[in-house]
A and B are shown apart, each in its own frame.
Chain A
Amino acid sequence: QKEVEQNSGPLSVPEGAIASLNCTYSDRGSQSFFWYRQYSGKSPELIMFIYSNGDKEDGRFTAQLNKASQYVSLLIRDSQPSDSATYLCAVNRDDYKLSFGAGTTVTVRA
Chain B
Amino acid sequence: NAGVTQTPKFQVLKTGQSMTLQCAQDMNHNSMYWYRQDPGMGLRLIYYSASEGTTDKGEVPNGYNVSRLNKREFSLRLESAAPSQTSVYFCASSTGGRGTEAFFGQGTRLTVV
Contacts and interface: CB of A to CB of B under 8 A. Distances in A.
A100 interface: yes
Interface residues of A, number: 25
Interface stretch (A12-20, A45-53, A68-76): A45-53
Q: Which of B43, B45, B106, B107 has the most CB of A within 10 A?
A: B43
A32 B98 contact: yes
B101 A43 contact: no
28 contacts: A31-B98, A32-B100, A34-B101, A34-B102, A43-B105, A43-B106, A44-B43, A45-B104, A46-B101, A51-B98, A88-B43, A90-B43, A90-B102, A92-B98, A92-B99, A96-B48, A97-B45, A97-B48, A97-B56, A98-B33, A98-B45, A98-B48, A98-B92, A99-B45, A100-B42, A102-B41, A102-B42, A103-B42
Given A95-B98, A96-B48, A99-B59, 16 more contacts: A32-B98, A32-B100, A43-B104, A45-B104, A88-B43, A92-B98, A95-B96, A95-B97, A96-B31, A96-B50, A97-B45, A98-B48, A99-B45, A100-B43, A100-B44, A100-B45
Q: Would you list the 3 A-B pairs with minimal beta carbon distance, nearest first?
A: A102-B42, A100-B43, A43-B104
